[in-house]
Amino acid sequence: MHFTRALAIAVSSILFLTYSVHAQESSSPTPDENSETAKPSMTLERLNTLITKIDPDAERSEGGNAWQFTVDATQVTVVSDETHDRMRIVTPIAKSESLSPDLMRRILQANF
> Which pLDDT tens digits describe the chain residue by residue (112 residues)?
455 555 555 555 555 545 554 555 455 444 455 555 665 578 899 999 999 999 999 999 999 999 999 998 899 999 999 888 888 898 888 888 898 999 888 888 886 6
Candidates 107, 5, 87; CA nearest to 46 is 87
Name the helix (H) or strand (E) containing 48: helix 44-54
Q: What angle do CA 73, 78, 84 make, to 5 degrees?
A: 165
